[in-house]
Structure 1
Amino acid sequence: MHTTITVIGLGNLGRALAHTLLRDGHPTTVWNRSPHKAEALVAQGATSTTTAAEAIAAGDLVLIALLDPTAARKVLTEAGDAVRGRTLVNLTSGGPDDARELATWAAEHDGEYLHGAVYAVPQTIGTAEASINYSGSEAAHHRWQSQLDLLGRSTFLGTDAGRASGYDVAILAGMYGTIGGFLHAAAMAQAAGISAADLTPKLLSWLTDMFPALSTFAREIDDKEYSTEESSLVMNQSGLATIIAASQAQGVPATTLLPLKDLIDREVTAGHGAASLARAVESLKAAG
């Protein structure tokens, strides 16, 4: 027998979730604040409801894919006791505390809670290219794993509901930092008469060679052991100052580099110039 599943939120991700479930033969109920987004799914066999509470009550497993944690909290709060006896799988992006707050709320309303972090573009949901990390109720993940695996490769990270989000926002911060660096590099290249297309293969080659250093940095950060004979903070302070000056001389603001330079400067000023570049993380933690 196929499980009755509900999808709350029909943006790009929600529609891809519902389509995947319908394709596999699951009776699927959908809800969206703008009802017209359900029309194509209804034509494929989904059932649309007028309220989120009705949709939640219709499914044993409830997938939530809304804009942000505020929207998810509002929709679930309005649904109230409809969550009783349901498993809520919240795929809405947010921070660890957002997930923990909703997990507590769900428990108070006799519902089970899993938080999911999606690593896929919507069109790859339901394929081997998609993966989703989960944390929260281990029993719920075990019970519904076959259904969750339909959406993408699933990995359970632990019973702390905020753990999947903790990984997610950190990974995305790294991703956006990388994109910011690439955009700065492209602007500098063009200012020097080099196309972004010509720059990119050489940049990718250098980054590929450099990325293993992140594992070394990770060990240094976890162990708080920053001694080095190679890439010291003072060495990087000098190199970064040169790059910033070159960027500004080309008319490209060093907006993406100045925050890192500030972290390095703080550590050097505090007497840690001989330490590894990874020690700059300590100024980030102190700032927090």
Structure 2
Amino acid sequence: MNEQQRQHEQQQRHQQHDDTRQKSAVTVIGLGPMGRAMTRALLAAGHPVTVWNRTAGRADGVVAEGAVLAATPGEAVGASDLVLLSLTDYPAMYDVLDGAAASLAGRTLVNLSSDTPDRTRAAASWAAGHGAAFLTGGVMVPAPMVGTEAGFVYYSGPAEVLESHRATLALLGSPNHLGEDPGLAQMMYQAQLTVFLSTLSALMHATAMLGTAGMPAARTLPELLSFTDSIGAMLRAGEAAPGAALDAGEHPGALSTVTMMGATSDHIVETSTSLGLDLALPLAVQAHYRRAIENGHGGDNWTRIIDSIRKP
């Protein structure tokens, strides 16, 4: 290597060092797949990252990539103004941070764990009581998509807190602020997962149904997934788009009615019964339509089933 090359490499190292110093420090507590993915996204962008996990061995990979393993939660919190939590649930936050409460003042806690909106609101009050700002976050992609263009995260809590850390949080996924209520992001997360989990159960029920006729899952699932892809297009199209009508309390039955959809749900229950399949899902769906019919709404659009969901 000649002198010019050595000088160039030295300048690059100095530049990388300066860039790292200019990036704000971030702490990540909880190193499951999601926590490790967030840590790697932050490291890749040049942020100094301190990590802590109850099982310290989970940190080995990210430490090898440049993260610093804190010995205690208090040490981890004290290392950064921005602290990201990726834990099993909100009670885990108290388990981890109760002993580090003295370090919370002036920090921003961003809890990306899943729980109920009410527990989220209580956690925001708890954080405020210790002098910390608090954001609720819901990561809406699996760990491998964190930090990619496909990643997005719902947030709720003080807008100014999100704005002050937007550039850093955007490294995890596009930030979408829903409002000041700390429970909103958690509510959106639960709503999205309601659709997701229900769809997964429906896909498995349909796969089991077709399997009784000898169709292998390798052939069945592509057909089913193609149909689920088209549902969004159907519900966004012109007159069929139900959002505005739902907000107005209107359920026009020109295109599809509760009675028509209810008859289909009856057939699904009958078929599933004859095949010896579990009936939990089809019976639940059937119940929505039967209640709407019993309440005199058979001629309304299928969206009328929302009434008994709102007030069972």
TM-score range, shorter chain: over 0.9
Q: Secondary structure at the match of 1:253?
A: coil
The match for 1:62 is 83
The match for 1:103 is 124
CA distance in 1, matches of 2:58, 2:229: 42
Question: CA separation of 1:268/1:78 partners in 2, compared to 1, >3 Å: closer, same or farther?
Answer: farther
Residue 232, structure 1, aligned to residue 262, structure 2: no
Q: Contact 1:8/1:66 (CA < 8 Å) preserved in 2?
A: yes
Question: CA separation of 1:168/1:189 partners in 2, compared to 1, >3 Å: closer, same or farther?
Answer: same
Mean Cα displacement is larger for which, 13-22 or 205-214?
A: 205-214
The 5 A counterparts of 1:9-24 are 9-24=30-45
Residue 271, structure 1, aligned to residue 292, structure 2: no
Cα distance, 1:218 vs structure 2: 3.0
Residue 141, structure 1, aligned to residue 166, structure 2: no
Q: Secondary structure at the match of 1:142?
A: helix
Q: Contact 2:251/2:304 (CA < 8 Å) preserved in 1?
A: yes
Alignment length, in residue pairs? Answer: 287
CA distance in 2, matches of 1:210, 1:20: 33
TM-score normalised by length of structure 2: 0.86
Question: CA separation of 1:286/1:36 partners in 2, compared to 1, >3 Å: closer, same or farther?
Answer: same
The match for 1:217 is 242
Mean Cα displacement is larger for which, 76-85 or 202-211?
A: 202-211
Deviations, residues 130-160 of structure 1 (Å, cap 9, x unaligned): 2112111211111111111112222222222
CA distance in 2, matches of 1:42, 1:179: 35
The aligned amino acid for 1:144 is: H
Residue 119, structure 1, aligned to residue 140, structure 2: yes
Q: Contact 2:112/2:137 (CA < 8 Å) preserved in 1?
A: yes
Q: 1:37 aligns with which of 58, 67, 71?
A: 58
Structure 2, unpaired ranges of 5+: 1-21
The aligned amino acid for 1:211 is: G
Q: Contact 1:231/1:277 (CA < 8 Å) preserved in 2?
A: yes
Q: Contact 1:90/1:115 (CA < 8 Å) preserved in 2?
A: yes
CA distance in 1, matches of 2:227, 2:56: 49
Question: CA separation of 1:85/1:165 partners in 2, compared to 1, >3 Å: closer, same or farther?
Answer: same
The match for 1:49 is 70
The match for 1:261 is 286
Residue 283, structure 1, aligned to residue 308, structure 2: yes
The aligned amino acid for 1:11 is: G
CA distance in 1, matches of 2:36, 2:223: 39
Q: Secondary structure at the match of 1:257?
A: helix
CA distance in 2, matches of 1:93, 1:117: 7
Cα distance, 1:127 vs structure 2: 1.9
Q: 2:49 aligns with which of 28, 32, 43?
A: 28
CA distance in 2, matches of 1:211, 1:150: 28
CA distance in 1, matches of 2:224, 2:296: 33
Cα distance, 1:245 vs structure 2: 0.7
Q: Contact 2:90/2:123 (CA < 8 Å) preserved in 1?
A: no
Cα distance, 1:207 vs structure 2: 3.5
Taking only the aligned residue pairs, the percentage that are identical comes to: 35
CA distance in 1, matches of 2:105, 2:50: 17
Cα distance, 1:213 vs structure 2: 4.3
CA distance in 2, matches of 1:195, 1:37: 38
Question: Which protein is bigger by CA-based radius of gyration?
Answer: 2
Alpha-carbon RMSD across the aligned residues, in angstroms, is: 1.8
Residue 94, structure 1, aligned to residue 115, structure 2: yes
Q: Secondary structure at the match of 2:106?
A: coil
Q: Contact 2:253/2:301 (CA < 8 Å) preserved in 1?
A: yes
Q: 1:130 aligns with which of 129, 144, 151?
A: 151
Cα distance, 1:191 vs structure 2: 0.8
The aligned amino acid for 2:135 is: L
CA distance in 2, matches of 1:59, 1:210: 44
Structure 1, unpaired ranges of 5+: none
Cα distance, 1:193 vs structure 2: 2.0
Residue 177, structure 1, aligned to residue 198, structure 2: yes
Residue 153, structure 1, aligned to residue 178, structure 2: no
